[in-house]
A and B are shown apart, each in its own frame.
Chain A
């Protein structure tokens, strides 16, 4: 199974921001493979580097951010070796992204139809406008929007409908990888769930891979089959989402997150916050970045940064994993 070609392959990827305080490592030496027809979740708090990583994969980093080391391959091709023109074709047809704020991702002065048709025509010069319009209609049907809205402008749609349009545009050219950066965060609970169910449904049919970026732990663990948990720019744990049902046998940070979420159906609901605050990337703690907030931390954790290790079916970056489990 492992010799299939991964849709996305991250090898020791680091991304830095050039800031007045010096180079800030927002993503620090992360590796991951995603295969077709799977949903992988990327969980992290604000400032953990999760969106930076998403943008890095799309080669969308802003001016002061650079890929400082490592390679990013999508469908076996190094994204950073493509020319500008190749990259333009590669995006959308091979990899696409859905952003958090759907309103800002859509052009306010173009109708929904024009925006979708635009995608087809700019990527396939031979396609007729008629054919593109037909495809636009089909796409809206896939995301359960009445084709009557083809003539609507973005402001005439509700937030949930706009996000559905953005998803329709992202999957227009059947990409192999779709990166979704908090696609439902600004939406109401019911709308959020209906869009997630829709994403799942489309994903099952089209079999593309999704990297789903979110801060919402419970949501991601329900949606994704595999989850990477990011803290201070590093993957501190990569595990199958089933295991996230229990707080046992995890990285102490993951364990803390699981304890911090109130459970809906438990008989007695208890929660426990993680002390302290997410770290400032400019002044990262020495050793393990999580040690100031960790209940198990010892002297070793303060001095030496742990390396990611494969233990019991998951990747964990913690000196004390075995000790803590006993």
Chain B
């Protein structure tokens, strides 16, 4: 792919967490050798269930945690080992929006102070220009009437407004890249669409790139240019959003799609076993093997590589070719 336009490049990302309570030190590996790329102005939707590693990847990309192995380059610069001043500078490039808007705001700070702090600290705004910038940001995210809203505190805002404020705060440092971790899943249905639209507008107007983390394929299809499906810390499939929904190749993607309301595919799910994937160190094979209808001995032994099955459509499955005939 075109190197010059890629903003985020991730190679063989591995993240390990120690497991407490055992005498011998053990690890789980929630993210195992993940590769991804996000271009300038592109939205990559990261879809998976709980325990798939999607949030962990998001946190690593904004350096809220440090990857154990692998390379993460943003704007051509390696970010894994940034410290102090350099890390602070990186925060001007990459920002995060969290699932729980209220939990991510400071309850004793006024709305305008949420924005003034990053504007002063990162952008050097002062006096009148600072006030004007706060007004502009609030207006940009649709928090109006601005004059009234800026003096309020987070608890006086509705959930949707709180999430808009969290977005405004992320925008205050003028970032290039935003990790949005389930930004609408705690909001009411009628409010969700507005937040997704806002993020879409910002992508168009500011040329922002996003990693959009979600469990909902329908919103991933709406907002994502490409969708990447994760299971048990492994990438199962990546493709352009429309292509992935139209012709999912990995059996896990097919299962996920069949479970999503509004899908046309019918798979009998009444007796699906709900075994969480094995994340322990030294595991072998494909993480989906225990739930997969196509699983063979080969799947138990070896994790399949991602291969380009169709143009720009990558799948990790030993048996996807046989699977196509089933569909």
Contacts and interface: CB of A to CB of B under 8 A. Distances in A.
A168 to B, nearest CB: 14
B133 interface: no
A277 B269 contact: no
Given A158-B276, A194-B269, A271 B160 contact: no
B263 A188 contact: no
A273 B269 contact: no
A192 interface: yes
A273 B192 contact: yes
A219 B261 contact: yes
B296 interface: no
Interface string B188-210: 11111111110000000000000
A189 B260 contact: yes
A292 interface: no
A219 B262 CA distance: 8
Contact of A217 (B161, B189, B197, B272): B189
B255 interface: yes
Interface stretch (B34-42, B71-79, B93-101, B216-224): B216-224
B191 to A, nearest CB: 7
A272 B189 contact: no
Given A197-B270, A273-B191, A265 B158 contact: no
B327 interface: no
Contact of A277 (B49, B191, B195): B191
B183 to A, nearest CB: 13
Interface in A239-263: 256-257, 259-263
Contacts of A191: 272, 274
A260 B192 contact: yes
Nearest to A191: B274
A158 B189 contact: no
Nearest to B252: A190
Interface string B106-119: 00000000000000
B3 interface: no
B2 interface: no
A167 to B, nearest CB: 13
A198 B270 CA distance: 5
A189 B48 CA distance: 9
Interface in B143-164: 158, 160-161
A222 B261 contact: yes
Interface string A293-311: 0000000000000000000
A152 interface: no
A46 interface: yes
A89 interface: no
A51 B272 CA distance: 29
A147 interface: no
13 contacts: A158-B274, A190-B269, A194-B271, A198-B271, A217-B189, A222-B262, A260-B190, A261-B193, A262-B221, A273-B193, A273-B195, A277-B160, A278-B190
Given A45-B188, A193-B260, A277-B191, 9 more contacts: A197-B268, A197-B269, A201-B270, A216-B189, A263-B218, A264-B221, A265-B245, A272-B197, A273-B191
